[in-house]
């Protein structure tokens, strides 16, 4: 098994890269998706979040009101740390379970935004960083998720810097160009990962 940690800042294009790697045969484990699953209604994590942040972070249907909680935690580092302490250990455990269950011959890609922030670099054979300037992150988050510049900047500021991420990278995928350019970059990346998988 080749274990690949795939990371990048919010809106950098990690999921776009992960989807293209999955098409080529990689097993992709998506930390954002697991982070959603562990806070579904009825979970202990959701109860802990309500105890910490109050009923105001629930929708009338009893689900987590994600935009509301996002506005709270990305404006206050202490509150974000409190949320992370509830969610991250559960995401870590679940992702390890999925990794352990994957085909031993697979290229397994863990798509995780906070790989550098959470000190996970040493757990992977290869660390791939999807890299764009902050301005591009802001533009794409506005275009695709309707985020204001302020909301986008608050999230970017809660993450590692571009330099910190690049310093941790074995491979940097530049996603400043078009989607067609990204297809080419991912074809090169896949060839590189396959070479590494054979060597391992
Ligand atoms: C605050 C929440 C409710 C906002 O939900 P929302 O649906 O708006 O965003 P979503 O979860 O899709 O995340 C989008 C992106 O935001 C960034 N982000 C999310 N959580 C964090 C965090 N704790 N610190 C820094 N950036 C984060 C990532 O780049 C992520 O890809 C949610 O992000 C959350 O529960 N975060 C804590 C768990 C976490 O760290 N998840 C990231 C993967 S483990
Ligand atoms: N080269 C590109 N040109 C234009 N748009 C792009 C490009 N690459 C990705 N996008 C778009 O930008 C948005 C953000 O990309 P994506 O969701 O893959 O980022 P991400 O890094 O996974 O973000 P998050 O951290 O929020 O999960 C998506 O809507 C995606 O389709």
Q: How far apart are the first and last CA of the chain?
A: 8
> Looking at residues 81-97, what average pLDDT do you find?
98
d(CA 17, CA 15): 5
The pTM of the full predicted model, rounded to 2 decimals, is 0.97
Which residues are near ligand 1 (CB < 6 Å)? 10, 31-32, 35, 66-67, 69-70, 73, 80, 83-84, 87, 91, 113-114, 155, 158-159
Write down the residue that tokens 């629930």 correspond to. Answer: 58
- The size of the chain, in residues, is 200
Average pLDDT, the chain: 97
Which residues are near ligand 2 (CB < 6 Å)? 8, 10-16, 32, 113, 140, 144, 175, 177-179, 182
Cβ neighbours of residue 190 under 8 Å, at least 6 residues apart? Answer: 20, 21, 24, 26
Cβ neighbours of residue 162 under 8 Å, at least 6 residues apart? Answer: 9, 131, 133, 134
Domains along the chain? 2-193 (3.40.50.300)
ipTM score here? Answer: 0.97
> Looking at residues 83-103, what average pLDDT do you find?
97
Q: What is the pLDDT of residue 199?
A: 77
d(CA 13, CA 174): 10
- Ligand 1 centre from 165 Cα, in Å? 17
Query: Tokens in use for 120?
Result: 């996970």
Cβ neighbours of residue 144 under 8 Å, at least 6 residues apart? Answer: 11
Give DSSP secondary structure letters for 104-158. TTSEEEEE-TTTTTTT-GGG-SEEEEEE--HHHHHHHHHHHH---HHHHHHHHHT
């Amino acid at each position: 098994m080749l274990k690949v940690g795939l990371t990048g800042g919010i809106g950098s294009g990690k999921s776009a890269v992960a989807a293209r790697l999955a098409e080529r045969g990689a097993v992709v484990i998506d930390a954002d998706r697991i982070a959603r699953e562990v806070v579904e209604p009825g979970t202990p994590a959701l109860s802990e979040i309500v105890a910490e942040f109050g009923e105001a972070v629930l929708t009338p249907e009893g689900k987590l009101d994600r935009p509301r909680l996002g506005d709270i935690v990305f404006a206050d580092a202490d509150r974000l740390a409190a949320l992370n302490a509830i969610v991250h250990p559960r995401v870590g455990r679940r992702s390890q379970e999925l990794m352990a269950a994957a085909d031993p011959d697979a290229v397994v890609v863990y798509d995780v935004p906070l790989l550098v922030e959470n000190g996970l670099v040493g757990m992977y054979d290869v660390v791939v960083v999807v890299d764009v300037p902050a301005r591009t992150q802001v533009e794409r988050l506005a275009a695709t998720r309707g985020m204001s510049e302020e909301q986008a900047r608050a999230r970017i500021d809660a993450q590692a810097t571009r330099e910190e991420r690049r310093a941790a990278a074995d491979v940097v995928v530049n996603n400043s160009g078009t989607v067609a350019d990204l297809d080419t970059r991912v074809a090169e990346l896949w060839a590189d990962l396959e070479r590494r998988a054979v060597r391992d």
